[in-house]
Amino acid sequence: MLVTGSNLEESLAAIELCQKFSKGEADSRNNPLYSTVGVHPCHATEIDDIEKHKMKPEEYIQKLEELAVDGKNRGIVKAFGEIGLDYDRLHYAPADVQRKYFKQQLDVATKVNLPLFLHSRACKDDFHSILSPYIEAGKLPKGGVVHSFTGTLDEVQDLLSLGLYIGINGCSLKTEENLKVVEAIPLNRIMLETDGPWCEIRPSHASYKKYLAASAPVAAQLLPYDAVKKEKFTPGAMVRGRCEPCSISLVAQVVAGIKGITLEELTDAIWENTHALFDI
Annotated binding site for a divalent metal cation: which residue ranges? 82, 119, 147, 195
Alpha-carbon 86 to chain mean position: 14
- Per-residue buried b or exposed e for 191-206, using 16+ beta carbons within 10 Å of the residue's own CB: bbbbbbeebbbeeebb
Closest CA to 168 of 142, 189, 153, 154: 189
Tell me how far apart the alpha carbons of residues 151 and 156 are, in angstroms, rounded to a whole number.
Answer: 7
Residue positions in the annotated binding site? 82, 119, 147, 195
User: Which residues partner with 239 through β-bridges?
Assistant: 228
Tell me how far apart the alpha carbons of residues 158 and 270 are, in angstroms, rounded to a whole number.
Answer: 21
Sign of CA dihedral 174, 179, 185, 191: positive
Q: Give yes or no for a contact between 173 and 182, defined as CB atoms under 8 angstroms apart.
A: yes
Give the CA count within 13 Å in the CB-facing half-sphere of 145.
28
Alpha-carbon 270 to chain mean position: 14
C-alpha distances out from residue 252 to 138, 173, 174, Å: 32, 11, 15
DSSP code string of 69-104: HHHHHTT-EEEEEEEEEETT-TTTS-HHHHHHHHHH
Relative to beta strand 190-192, strand 165-168 is parallel
